[in-house]
Chains A and B, each alone.
Chain A
Amino acid sequence: MSTSELTAPQTSKAPKAPKPRRERPRVMGAGKQLHAGPLTYVVLSVFALVSLAPLVWTAIAASRTDRRLAETPPPLWFGGNLFKNMDRAWEEAGLGKAMFNTTFVAGTITISTVLFATLAGFAFAKLRFRFSGLLLMLTIGTMMIPPQLAVVPLYLWMADLGWSNQLQTVILPTLCTAFGTFFMRQYLLQALPTELIEAARVDGASSLRVVWHVVFPAARPAMAVLGLLTFVFAWNDFLWPIIALNQENPTVQVALNSLGTGYVPDQAVIMAGALLGTLPLLIAFLLFGKQIVGGIMQGAVKG
């Protein structure tokens, strides 16, 4: 009996919490939300054109021949060689294997980062423990360290372990990120009512139970967004994969690097490779663009 009394007021509070957050932009921006004039649309269209033109032109160039790309004027419309060039990029430049590898690498990193970052973000947002403030500062501070400071020892260790050119070398260092931890902390700070946790505690729930039944359900939207952002980041990671892997067992970026440094000196094939390597993320943007935009804006306000 007592348990239902305890949870009843808490749960009725729960849905209220996210409300002010959702209304905030509308209310606060109201004074500024002037209707855009035609000039605004013109300038925005120029920005949009500059954003999209290089990608569209990649597809145009990928559908032409190497010889045609060396001629002036450059081609402005599609030719008939797209699938032939893609096929060559897939086979000769090893992009097929690279796509498979990158999907595995980015997928693993995404799952582990989302899981660990949610746990750490929850601890920083809602749990009291000694040195929590200091450790949070440290977490944020680590974002300032350039990856260049780690690559020499990592390279030597991986060589010692006989792991050169194996995928775990690029997975392990990125299993959890400071950005992800901070992102989840900022979200849970306001999206997870402390009363909800206390109620579960009163009912004797262990910390793991609280995480499973209270934190994960409340964090789900942010976890999805962090997953998307992490996947984009992992797919495009460049410096360490270039050093740790080579053309024998590449990620997409390593394969593109080999393409660019003369593995297949055919510009049309190179463009087909660039297009193929970007396509999965472009599709993700097409499907989840709204969520990705929301995630970047959300991470920013509080950052």
Chain B
Amino acid sequence: MTSSKQALAHSASADAAPGDQPGAAGRAHGRGTPPPPGPDSWRRRLYRWDMKASPYAFIAPFFIVFGAFSLVPLLYTAWYSLHNVQLADLDGQTWTGLDNYQNLLSSDFFWNALGNTFTIGVISTVPQLLMAIGLAHLLNYKLRGSTVWRVVMLTPYATSVAAATLVFVLLYSWDGGMINWLLEFVGIDPVNWRESDWGSQFAVSSIVIWRWTGYNALIYLAAMQAIPADLYESAAIDGANRWQQFLHVTIPQLRPTILFTVVVSTIGATQLFGEPLLFGGVSGSKGGSGHQYQTLGLYMYDQGWIIGNLGKASAIAWSMFLILLIVAVIQLLVSRRLRKSQ
């Protein structure tokens, strides 16, 4: 703050020079609006132009990047999804109407991928967010070394999808894998994490859970710290114990944050890609020998860049977006209904 004070003082003295007519600045002060110092009309015009145009100039870089690399491509993706576009023959694009979409709707692999995306999304998001709330509750106590605890919980977030998945592949390996070895200790038969249906989906989900629980816990923690203390005090006066306070004060106060994390996690789950890709190793884009963990993101990559049908990949991308929008609308409606009923 001190540096900005100095900077302002500096800029003030530097800028006083052009408006060196004593009356100008005084008038400005009196009226409370900031007209330009100096009598020159071009200067005034320049000032007014600056005031009008600079906000747009400041937001322009973001919107140029967004327009060029998100919005226009998004529309082109819709266009390509109505064409037959092959990676091997990029110049031979032909209009096919809704063929790509019809193709998807009649494809078992598409429905399989959609189902897998949903299942993996639920078993990665629900436990993750529940654990994150619990973890945030614990981090909200007065702790020794509270910063250290928080940083430790966030370290998985520093690990990239690729690095984390490579490690988990080894941890989950059939023989010599740490997890099967630990299971054997407690007397559970080893699980074929790569080949079995639920086992591989659980394994892929666990990578997501590992990477994101601490991050979401910090988001909940921030919201918990903003809950006014008197809410807890009045609950305590009413005879609510700690668990009841958590249930009837903390959770309702966290509702907007919970909605936020649910929406963000849904967006992440819908486009899940890196974890299943690397979990599958050499044939990763298939999502396992029986496509048991092929998600929509993976299916799109497989169709587009392994099989080489970019038109179909575009149709998958747009289907993904539409599904995401539908889910988001449902979530908003449910949360509104919940708010009304309370």
What residues make up the interface of A, taking CB atoms closer than 8 Å to B? 2-7, 10-11, 14-15, 17-18, 24-25, 27-36, 40-41, 43-44, 47-48, 50-52, 54-55, 57-58, 61, 69-74, 116-117, 119-120, 122-124, 127-129, 132, 135, 139, 142-156, 159, 172-178, 181, 196, 198-209, 211, 213-214, 217-218, 220, 232, 235-236, 238-239, 242-243, 252-253, 256-257, 259-262, 267, 270-271, 273-275, 277-278, 281-282, 284-285, 289-290, 292-293, 296-298, 300-301, 303
Q: Which residues of B contact A175 (CB under 8 A)?
A: 61, 65
Whether B204 sits at the interface, judged by CB under 8 Å, is no
Whether B113 sits at the interface, judged by CB under 8 Å, is no
Cβ-defined partner of A277 (8 Å) among B147, B160, B170, B324:
B160
Contact with A along B299-320 (1 / 0, CB 8 A): 0110011000010011011101
Q: Which residues of A contact B328 (CB under 8 A)?
A: 144
| A31 & B230 in contact (Cβ 8 Å cutoff) | yes
Cβ-defined partner of B11 (8 Å) among A209, A243, A301:
A209
Among B3-20, those with CB < 8 Å from A are 3-5, 7-13, 15-16, 18-19
Bound CA–CA A285/B157 (angstroms): 10
Chain B residue nearest to A290 (CB atoms) is B147
Q: Which residues of B contact A144 (CB under 8 A)?
A: 267, 324-325, 328
Bound CA–CA A103/B51 (angstroms): 38
Bound CA–CA A127/B51 (angstroms): 9
Chain B residue nearest to A150 (CB atoms) is B73
Cβ-defined partner of B176 (8 Å) among A69, A209, A257:
A69
| A32 & B56 in contact (Cβ 8 Å cutoff) | no
Whether B150 sits at the interface, judged by CB under 8 Å, is yes
Instruction: Using known A-B contacts A129-B56, A202-B29, determine if residue A57 contacts B210 with beta carbons closer than 8 Å.
Output: no
Q: Please choose the segment from B120-128, B192-200, B214-222 that sits at the chain A interface, where 4 or more of its residues have CB less than 8 A away.
A: B214-222
Bound CA–CA A211/B57 (angstroms): 12
Instruction: Using known A-B contacts A153-B76, A153-B80, A297-B221, determine if residue A172 contacts B162 with beta carbons closer than 8 Å.
Output: no
Bound CA–CA A43/B131 (angstroms): 11
Chain B at the A interface: mostly helix, strand, loop or mixed? helix
Bound CA–CA A175/B37 (angstroms): 37
Cβ-defined partner of B141 (8 Å) among A6, A40, A242:
A40
Chain A at the B interface: mostly helix, strand, loop or mixed? helix
| A252 & B160 in contact (Cβ 8 Å cutoff) | yes
| B11 & A28 in contact (Cβ 8 Å cutoff) | no
Please give the distance in Å from B194's CB to the nearest CB on chain A: 13
Among B162-193, those with CB < 8 Å from A are 162-171, 175-178, 181
Whether B72 sits at the interface, judged by CB under 8 Å, is yes
Whether B240 sits at the interface, judged by CB under 8 Å, is no
Q: Please choose the segment from B103-111, B269-277, B333-341 that sits at the chain A interface, where 4 or more of its residues have CB less than 8 A away.
A: B269-277
| B8 & A3 in contact (Cβ 8 Å cutoff) | no
Bound CA–CA A121/B47 (angstroms): 22
| B70 & A142 in contact (Cβ 8 Å cutoff) | yes
17 contacts between A and B (CB under 8 A): A3-B16, A6-B25, A25-B226, A30-B229, A35-B141, A40-B138, A47-B213, A54-B168, A152-B73, A153-B80, A204-B37, A213-B10, A220-B3, A257-B162, A262-B281, A297-B218, A300-B257
